[in-house]
């Protein structure tokens, strides 16, 4: 077993993407290797200009709940998803994009944040990494 965490980001909800990135950064800070696999709704957040645009998973109320949570986060001093992503990359984290989702949803590489993505892959790559990871999460 490697000192590694692999995280599937299936949800594109703002709060869940926050959870995924905070856990991922925490693991890197503790000296672990981390790979994040973005698929389905999670991959939508990697489209250009879409990172901070996810709805709240509960009580979104057509965006009102989301707006209220964002205000509260600003007050408490929570980092933006963009900063968390930049930190994740700086600390050596890997970002993988699911190519099947790209086909289904008609997403091209140029539509995505290629500056953040380390590679494009399918389930085999994930399993190959996950089988040796001491932490695996599906968010």
Interacting residues toward other proteins by CB under 8 A = 22, 25-26, 28-31, 76-79, 84, 87, 90-91
CB closer to other proteins, 49 vs 92: 92
> Is the separation of the CB atoms in 42 and 10 below 8 Å?
yes
Shortest distance (Å) from residue 112 CB to other proteins: 24
Q: What is the largest CA-CA distance in the chain?
A: 44
Alpha helix stretches (DSSP H) within the chain? 14-29, 40-44, 64-76, 81-90, 99-104, 123-130
Shortest distance (Å) from residue 92 CB to other proteins: 8
Residue 24 CA to residue 94 CA, distance in Å, equals 10
Shortest distance (Å) from residue 101 CB to other proteins: 27
CB closer to other proteins, 47 vs 94: 94
Shortest distance (Å) from residue 23 CB to other proteins: 8
Residue 1 CA to residue 11 CA, distance in Å, equals 27
CB closer to other proteins, 29 vs 127: 29
> Is the separation of the CB atoms in 55 and 66 below 8 Å?
yes
CB closer to other proteins, 50 vs 80: 80
């Amino acid at each position: 077993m490697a000192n590694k965490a692999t995280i599937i980001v299936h949800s594109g909800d703002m709060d869940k993407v926050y959870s995924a990135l905070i856990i991922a950064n925490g693991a890197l800070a503790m000296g672990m290797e981390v790979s994040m696999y973005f698929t389905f709704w999670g991959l939508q957040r990697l489209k250009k200009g879409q990172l901070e645009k996810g709805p709240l998973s509960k009580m979104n109320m057509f965006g009102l709940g989301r707006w209220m949570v964002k205000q509260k986060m600003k007050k408490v001093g929570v980092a933006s998803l963009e900063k968390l992503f930049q930190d994740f990359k700086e600390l050596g984290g890997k970002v993988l994009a699911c190519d099947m989702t790209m086909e289904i949803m008609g997403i091209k590489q140029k539509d995505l944040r290629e500056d953040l993505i380390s590679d494009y892959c399918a389930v085999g790559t994930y399993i190959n990494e996950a089988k040796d990871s001491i932490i695996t999460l599906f968010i």
